[in-house]
Structures are given as C-alpha cells and as structure tokens.
A and B are shown apart, each in its own frame.
Chain A
Amino acid sequence: MHPRTATLVAFSDAELDSGRSQRIARHLQDCQECQAALDRISKEKQDLSAFTSGSQRALDARQGLAAVLATIARWHEAPAPELTSRARAQIEIYFGCGAASFMEGPDIRADELLAKTLALMAAFLGQEAAEAVAGEILRGLDCAALTAEVSP
C-alpha cells in the first residue's frame, strides 16, 4: 500500500517517528511511483522556498527585466494565496477534501476563507482549537501585507 501524499510530505520534512520513517524508506526503495512523488514534493518545496524567500538565486538573470518584474509582482501577491493554501490545508486535515472544495469557491477572498475556516473550527472543535488553528495558519505570514491586500 502506498503512503499518502501527506505522509510523504511529513517524511520529507523529517516529521515522522523513526519506525514509520524506516518503513517508508524501505517502501521507497522498491516503489518507483512513490519515489517520483517524493521527488515532486521535494522540488515543489524547493521552488516554494526560493519563491517565498525572494532569493535572487531563484531568478534567472537571462529572463530579463520583464521576468524580474513579473516575479516581484508574484511575490507581492504571495501572502493571500499562501493564506488560502494554509486555510485549505487545515480544512482538509480536520474536515476533508470535500469540505475544502465546497468552501473554497472560485471567487472567495483569502480573508473570507480564513473566516469561514475559523467559524467551522470554532463550531466543531471549540474556540480554543479555532484560535490555535488561526495561529497555525497565520504563522510566519506578513500580516501587514495581508491586511493591506484584503482591505477594500
């Protein structure tokens, strides 16, 4: 049985206990499909890391001014998509993919999704858990940029 994507992400982050890590490592030795999935996860993490840190190494000098400007523009847009992504991840953990798809409409703003997520958490797990999840979602994000971004 293949490990789930979430488990592979946790494995890649070295967040699993030693026994489970060894089991997955053994599985990865024999399973090309999971190796490919792990490679993909690692690559996405690297891309994301380079993107969110604004590292100059992520920029190819040959891309020219237009590419640099586009990257800067994307960087400015980053907090809201990141917030959406984190809120969605929390809904998936506690409720499931169906709930995440159902809540995340095409035009929903990041702050609206956050509010919906916290309302759900407060209703189904209590206020303390909702506040903890809010902390988890917002950890490390530039809240000033977020506030400016979502303000009408």
Chain B
Amino acid sequence: MTRTEDWGGLESAPRWIIMVTGAYLVLGLFALYVWYSAAQRLSMQTPSAGAEGLSVTGMAAAQAWLCLLVFRSFQRGAPLRRVWLLIMLSAIAHVAGGLIAQASETAWLLNPLVPLGSTEQLHRTGLILSGPVQMALLAAGLLAALRVLRRFGFGVRPKAIGWAVAGILILFALTRFGETAGKQFTADSAISLIRTLLLCVLSVEALFLWLSAVRMGRGLIAKCWRAFAIGIFVIGFGEAALWALGRYFPGWLVATLDWYVWFPAAAVFALAPAHCVAAVRRATGRVTRPSSDLPVRAFPRTVPAN
C-alpha cells in the first residue's frame, strides 16, 4: 500500500473546496468590515449582489461537475446512479437558474437574454430554477439515497432531539408559510411558498441522512452524505437566522448577510460529491493488477451482482 499526499489530483478536491471557501469567506468578512466601517464616514452603496450570486453559482457549477464524475463511476442499473443523476440535475438547475437570474438583472444592451422575453419573466424563471426546481430534484435524489442506505442496513430512527432540530426548521418554514400566505398572492410568493415546503421535506431528509452518516462513522462515504445534511441545515438555520435578524436590523444589512448563508451551503453541497470522487479515486487509483485476474472468483457464491 503506497500512498502519498497529492494536492494536484481529484483526491484532494474536498480540501481545495474547504480552502477556497475559507479564504473566500474571510475575504468577504474583511470586505464587509471595511465597507461597514467606511460607510460610517463616506457615502457608499450596498455591494452589488451580482458578484455574490455568481460565486454561489460557480460553486454550484463545481458541484454539478463533481456529481457528473461520481455519476459516471456507476454502471447502468446501479441504485446510486439514479441518485447522483437527480443530484446532478439539481446542481445544473441551480447553475442555470443562477445564471439566468444574474443575466436578467444586467441592464446591458448586448445582453442576449433580453430579446427572449421581459427581464422580469426571465428573472422569475431563474428564481424558479434555482429555487423550487433545484430543491425538488435534490429532495428526490436524497430520498432515493435514503432508500439505498436503508437497504444496506444504515436505516435509522431519529430520537426526540433529532425531531426537535428538524422541528425548529419546520416551525420556521411554517411561520414563513403563514406570513406569505397572509399577503396578496403573487408569483413570487408562490415560489417562496413552494421553496418553504420543500425546505421542510429537505430538513427531515437531512435529519435521516445525518443520523445514517453518524451510524457509518467518519469514512469518506459517510462524509459525503453528512455534507448534504449539513448543507441543508446551513440553509434552514441560516434562513431562520436571517428572518429573525430582519425583524431587528435594516433590510440592507440582512441582504448583505444572505451571501454568508448561501455560499457556505453551496460549498458544502459541492463538498459532498467531492468526498465521493475522492473515495472513488482512492479506490481505483490503487489498482495493481487487472480486475480479470482477481482471485475474488474463488468466492462465486458470495460475490454480489451489481
């Protein structure tokens, strides 16, 4: 067994993602501090949301690419192939929605999206893709993943504390649901309502995923599924915190902090397939003889068919 630390290969993708995210967050916090300090003395505008949105979209693109790599490592009919397909489609929807939403916000004459329709409609399409569509695909993928985990003996029954954690998120989601439903019903409020309901579903899935990963241990595959749970919890608790802050602090400050929820969440979602890619690379990178020569044939009764 010969292994060396390799920062150049895909095996180190999780560490790269953590490093980039950490550096970007520190830089963002520093910029926020400078901006907030300078705003006391100078007249300054709030920072553009475009660059922030693109960083989240960029991380979602990294997630989509890593999901594609994992997806390709499974043969047709493998139970997790469909799971990774759904998760990859969810990341693609996030990327497409993010790009459309960002492009439709750009008041630029050469913007290629402008002739396609009103920028408002395009912006809404982007929000639908990166919101409800992405979350629905992710929820479907994670549900299928939970079935596979259960089939292999990693099914769990949450205890009271687990349900309490998920309950907090569901309570928050229902509160927002009530708030939105009480107002005049618009397309944007419908998107928000659907997002909120999907967040409830994802919160419950995250609870089960987290407990299954804890049951596994601290291996690479456990880290992969744990990352999805963390990503959902970051979104859920982050949105709840922002919602609570919005009641006491000005809207512009809360809007600025929004990125500090979505960017880490996008990074953690990218981390999940990165762990899986690292695991696959670690396994396949150590092949020392052709698989046809494997003496595993000595156990014809016990070798499972995929």
Contact = CB atoms under 8 A, between A and B. Distances in A.
Interface of A: 10, 13, 15-17, 19-20, 91-100, 102-103, 111-112, 114-115, 118-136, 138-139, 141, 143-144, 146-147, 150
B43 interface: no
Given A125-B279, A125-B280, 8 more contacts: A103-B153, A111-B302, A115-B303, A124-B148, A124-B221, A129-B280, A133-B283, A143-B298
Question: Could you tell me the dominant secondary structure of chain A's interface residues?
Answer: helix
Contacts of B80: 123-124
Question: Could you tell me the dominant secondary structure of chain B's interface residues?
Answer: loop
B214 to A, nearest CB: 7
A15 B219 CA distance: 20
Given A13-B1, A15-B2, A122-B78, A94 B283 contact: yes
B75 interface: yes
Nearest to B293: A135
Contacts of A136: 1, 283, 286, 288
B220 A94 contact: yes
B148 A99 contact: no
Given A20-B5, A115-B299, A115-B303, A127 B217 contact: no
Nearest to A144: B298
Contacts of A127: 74-75, 78, 306
A10 B216 contact: no
A97 B2 contact: no
Given A20-B5, A99-B217, A124-B221, A135 B289 contact: yes
A122 B219 contact: no
Contacts of A20: 5
Contacts, number: 142
A22 to B, nearest CB: 12
A127 B197 CA distance: 37
A143 B296 CA distance: 8
A26 B260 CA distance: 37
15 contacts: A94-B220, A94-B279, A96-B216, A111-B299, A114-B299, A119-B152, A122-B306, A123-B80, A125-B73, A125-B279, A125-B283, A131-B294, A131-B296, A132-B287, A135-B291
Contacts of A120: 152
A126 B1 contact: no
B50 interface: no
A99 to B, nearest CB: 4
B286 A126 contact: no
B296 A123 contact: no
Given A95-B222, A121-B283, A125-B283, A134 B294 contact: yes
Nearest to B3: A15
A123 B78 contact: yes
Nearest to A134: B296
Given A134-B294, A135-B291, A93 B75 contact: no
Contact of A96 (B75, B153, B219, B276): B219
B150 interface: no
A93 B220 contact: yes
B219 A92 contact: yes
B2 A100 contact: no
Contacts of A144: 298
A127 B280 CA distance: 10
Contact of B287 (A92, A118, A135): A135
Nearest to A96: B217
B215 A126 contact: no
A15 B6 CA distance: 12
A54 to B, nearest CB: 21
B35 interface: no
